[in-house]
Amino acid sequence: MDFMNFLESIFRWLHVVFGIMWIGLLYFFNFVNGPFEATMDGETKKKVVPELRPRALFWFRWGAAVTWATGVLLLLVVFYHGGALFGPEGRWGVGAVLMIALTFLAPLIYDALVNSVLKELQAAFVGGLILSLVVLLLFDHVGGFGVRGYAIHLGTMFGTIMAFNVWFRIWPSQQKIITAIKGGSAPDAALVALAGTRSRHNTYMSAPLVFLMLSQHSLGWATNPLVLTLVVLAGWGLVYHLYSRAAAVKGF
């Protein structure tokens, strides 16, 4: 047991350190660098972007990778091995396994939805909120998860989608965008839109994600999935306000 506590401490420490790196850079890109780059002319972008973005994106994508990997290790140690997953009547079975599979396959479902019916940000906002409630209900009634279990798995689902976006949508797009800017040509508008949209999605998911990860020992008041869905809504409302505030902040 002492060894498992030691592992949990190490994984939690690394998870937080690299999570700060990842989410900090996510907010830098969305609330600082995006508005700043909009003020630059073509020649300035040609000089600044190829030097700044690759450096920031290096720490950004590896921060995402280590945060996700250590999060999964914590899930294994605390919830699967440590027994914090289920409610009083829950136990391992087909339903629980299916819900865990859904958690980690969620990026494929998300990717299909945001490329079709949830393509517009407003639709993604409303649809994502409804889907969050549906997923929490499935975790509760099909998986048999307790409140800590379904809260952490919604957070894991958000984190897995976010890491997927970083490595398979944002970074590949940014490589081509940066190369085009360095060569003095206009980047593909579709790639710019893809990278920007997925970065914005990640920013919205980050606020409830942080709450779901940090509030694991104080969730006694979150007695049903609807309450946590309202937490997701509050997090998205906060991010919406931050975007509005970021647009109003000016340089000297």
The closest of 62, 76, 54 to 7, measured between CA atoms, is 76
Taking the C-alpha atoms of residue 96 and residue 102, their distance in angstroms, rounded to an integer, is 10
Question: 206, 23 in Cβ contact below 8 A?
Answer: yes
Taking the C-alpha atoms of residue 214 and residue 211, their distance in angstroms, rounded to an integer, is 5
- Predicted local distance difference test score (pLDDT) of residue 223: 75
Taking the C-alpha atoms of residue 140 and residue 136, their distance in angstroms, rounded to an integer, is 6
Domain that holds residue 158: 2-248
- Predicted local distance difference test score (pLDDT) of residue 95: 96
pLDDT, one tens digit per residue, over 148-201 is 999 999 999 999 999 999 999 999 999 999 999 999 999 999 999 999 999 999
3-state secondary structure of 92: coil
Which range is least confidently modeled, 14-18, 63-67, 87-91, 202-206? 87-91
pLDDT, one tens digit per residue, over 92-122 is 999 999 999 999 999 999 999 999 999 999 9
Number of structural domains (the chain) is 1
- Predicted local distance difference test score (pLDDT) of residue 32: 97
The closest of 202, 102, 199 to 154, measured between CA atoms, is 102
- Predicted local distance difference test score (pLDDT) of residue 1: 56
State the chain's mean pLDDT as an integer: 95
Taking the C-alpha atoms of residue 190 and residue 187, their distance in angstroms, rounded to an integer, is 9
Q: Which residue type occupies 64?
A: A
- Predicted local distance difference test score (pLDDT) of residue 235: 97
- Give the angle 127-75-92 at the CA atoms, nearest 5°: 85
Model confidence band, residue 4 (pLDDT cutoffs 50, 70, 90) = confident
